[in-house]
Amino acid sequence: MPVEGFIGGLLIGLAAAIMLLGLGRIAGVSGLAARATGIADTGAPRGIAVAFVIGLPLGAFLIATLAGGVTTKFPVSIWPLIIGGLLVGFGTRLGSGCTSGHGVCGMSRLSPRSLVATALFMASGFVTVALLRLGAFL
């Protein structure tokens, strides 16, 4: 629903603002996740990355507990998850960011790289789902 979406978005923006003003960093999930696991050896201090990555499921768990559950519907087959995961992992590292780093943090400071990245991954996502829909229809 749009109202929950907007309020959830405000929380996400507040989280990113805390990271920026508190620690002077971008709350980019792909970068912090790569750093937390040691896949990236530059970026945020390891402890900061690990704490953020632990915080994500913790916050979702709290909301699920308070709200009596969070609805999720996953693909029936495991293959979209595996192929999608590989592409998301590889692509976000190659493109230096994802929906949070480019989409929220970069766009709000009008970074040219983030504006281009967000336009491209959105367009790519739209085309992909349109093609999947076409494939299912045929």
Chain positions 5 to 34 lying near other proteins, rule: CB under 8 A, are 5-27, 29-30, 33-34
| Sign of torsion over alpha carbons 101, 102, 104, 106 | positive
Residue 75 makes contact with other proteins by CB under 8 A: yes
- Contact (CB, 8 A) for 27 and 55: no
Region 104-123 residues binding other proteins, contact defined as CB under 8 A? 104-109, 111-113, 116-118, 120-123
Task: State the minimum distance, in angstroms, from the CB of residue 31 to other proteins.
Answer: 9
Please list every residue from 80 through 99 that binds other proteins, using CB under 8 A: 80-96, 98-99
| Helical segments of 24-111, H only | 29-37, 46-67, 79-94, 107-108
Q: Which is nearer to other proteins, 18 or 138 (CB)?
A: 18
**Smallest gap, in angstroms, from Cβ of residue 38 to other proteins?**
10
Residues that bind other proteins (rule: CB under 8 A) add up to a total of 108
Minimum CB separation from other proteins for residue 25, in Å?
6
Query: Which residue number, 58 or 138, has a Cβ lying nearer to other proteins?
Result: 58
68 lines the binding site for other proteins (CB under 8 A): no
Q: What is the dihedral of CA 118, 122, 75, 11, to 10 degrees?
A: 50
Length of the chain equals 138
Q: Give the C-alpha separation, 133 to 136, whole Å.
A: 5
The total of other beta-carbon atoms located within 10 Å of residue 21's CB is 8
